[in-house]
Structure 1
Amino acid sequence: MAIDLKSDWTAADVSALLASVEDDRSWRLEVSADGLARLNDLSTVPDTAYEEALHCFFEIWDQGTDFVGPGAACDKSLCNKIERILRENYPALKGARTLSAL
């Protein structure tokens, strides 16, 4: 699942994104150059070329930390925070390409 940041979207879409995966591995929230926010399974570490092609990405959410999955999807505070951070950093970055804001 992905959120198209160029369209109308809300914290409910963030909740659906978080609910679309299980907290059974490490994940990273990424925003592609074309404005799609998605969770990347970090079972395979991306190479430098992949990362440089991204608009930005957030810190890694390690397995078992409850930043993804059904529990995270129900956390309105977390979903609102992610919504705010995505809006602040797309289309223009507020800070560095690697964001550690959660």
Structure 2
Amino acid sequence: MAIDLKSEWSAADVSALLASVEDDRSWRLEVLADGTAKLNDLSAVPDAAYEESLHCFFEIWEQGTDFVGPGAACDKSLCKKIEKLLRENYPALKGARTLSAL
């Protein structure tokens, strides 16, 4: 699952994105250069070239922290906060390419 930040989207889409994965490994919210927001499974660490190709990315959400999965998807406050951060940082970055989400 991914969110196209160039189209209309909402906190409900963020909720669906969070619900699309399980909290059984570490994940990172990334925004690709084309405006696609997605969760990246960090079972394999991306190389520097991959990270340079990204528009931005958020800190790693470690396994078991409940920032992804069904629990996170039901947390309206979390989804709204992520929505706000994505809107603030795409298409123009508000800060650094590595963002602290929460």
User: Aligned partners of 1:61, 1:16: CA distance in 2, in Å?
Assistant: 17
Unaligned ranges ≥5, structure 1: none
Q: Which runs of 4+ in 1 moved over 2 A?
A: none
Q: Identity across aligned pairs (percent)? A: 88
Q: CA deviation at 1:101?
A: 2.6
Deviations 1:2-24 (A, max 9, x none): 00000000000000000000000
User: What are structure 2's unaligned runs of at least 5 residues?
Assistant: none
TM-score of the two chains, using structure 1 as the length reference: 0.99
Q: Which residue of 1 aligns with 2:101?
A: 101
Equivalent residue number for residue 51 of structure 2: 51
After superposition, the C-alpha distances for 1:3-60 in whole angstroms (9 at most, x for unaligned) are 0000000000000000000000000000000000000000000000000000000000
1:18 aligned partner, one-letter code: L
| Alignment match, 2:30 | 30
CA–CA distance in 1 between the matches of 2:76 and 2:2?
19
Q: What aligned pairs does 1:15-94 form with structure 2 within 5 A after superposition?
A: 15-94=15-94
Aligned residues: 102
**Residue 91 of structure 1: SS of its match in structure 2?**
coil
Alpha-carbon distance in 2 for matches of 1:19, 1:83: 15
